[in-house]
Amino acid sequence: ICNTHALRTQGIARGRDVSRDALREKERKIGELRRRVEELEAERERDKVVIGSLRRERSLRVGKGEESVGAKGEEWLEGEVWKDG
């Protein structure tokens, strides 16, 4: 009876340790994913700023008559053809 009780207690302790390790790993993964989300959100904001800047720059050029867009989506700027890319 004593041996059975000791084995059961050891099994419970091992199970508890495995559960704690799994929880630590889960928390580590959550932290890693949160950091990745923050990186992606920051990258998205940078892209928004760049796109806005490019749009403003393009609208200024169009307003000055420096640029027009060809039938196939090619941009004509000061006599040169620039392919959309």
Sheet of strand 75-77: strand arrangement: 67-69, 75-77, 80-82
Structural domains in the chain (count): 1
pLDDT in tens, 33-76: 999 999 999 999 999 999 999 999 888 887 776 555 554 554 54
Instruction: Provide the domain limits for residue 60.
Output: 2-82
Q: Write down the pLDDT at residue 75.
A: 52
∠ at Cα 47 (34, 62), nearest 5°? 165
